[in-house]
Amino acid sequence: MSDYANDVLVSADWVEDNLDSFQSDDPEYRLVEVNSPESPEDDDFPSRYDEGHIPGAVGFQFDEDLSDEGQRDILKQDQFEETIGGAGISEDSTVVFYGDGHIANWFALFAYWEFKYFGHDDARVLNGGKDYWVENDYPLTDDEPDFSSQDYTASGPYDNIRAYKSEVDEAIETGIPMVDVRSPAEFTGETIAPEGLQETAQRGGHIPGASNVPVATVLNDDGTFKSADELRELYADHNVTDDESVITYCRVGERSSIEWFALHDLLGFYDVRNYDGSWTEWGNLIRAPIEQGEAD
């Protein structure tokens, strides 16, 4: 994986080789499975943490553990520190994230982005996520680890990787590239949310000036990331290059974190921000401009 700008992807083989370290009470290595609120039910696939997870992994629920549901926001710093320290993770831990049975690492990359927002240094991602792990017969367990709590002090937050409405307004005004990672049907306004998921906005469409690069297009069929050359060509086809700032967005900020990761960490683009308010915020705003129609 040396063709990427940063060494942040790990293989299933690497994780398997380090299972003893991930299961140790020593916080040097920690493995985190992130489940979505709508983890799919599949009798043939242990999509939920309690149905089977990688040995040593701790389980986080996106909406309950990594979000402030009252504010519809990410955790506040003190909430983050308490949650992460309580899971046995220290500031110095090498933390590897993987996701449940949605699109590979759908919500895991949101957790990765949130960790980076609060300044965690050594965060990595299991390439292919849980889908790849299960499909290739790597070991699973239903035993939950009980790690000693750690005193976690975040060095962040770092707002240079997060976009707010004001930055989106500026992007519309100045032509800063925006990448809408949702499906073409969501982008055009035909639908508001992926099939089977709750609609969280009043209007359909996309932010004016955004390009549609569906998240599945950055992944191979097995859920692993495409090569750096393939990713760079894909984004260049949408006039997204490393000489400009970029904003990514989706429905609630989780799919867009995948492409934030691809642009910021795999390709090394210098200024990439994830608009985690995404279409849930923009599609509910009064007088916020939208466009509908064909994807580019």
- Phi then psi dihedrals of residue 71, to 5 deg: -95, -10
250 is known as an active-site residue:
yes
Rounded CA separation 26/29 (Å): 7
Q: Which of 250, 262, 267, 272 is catalytic?
A: 250
> What positions carry a catalytic annotation?
250
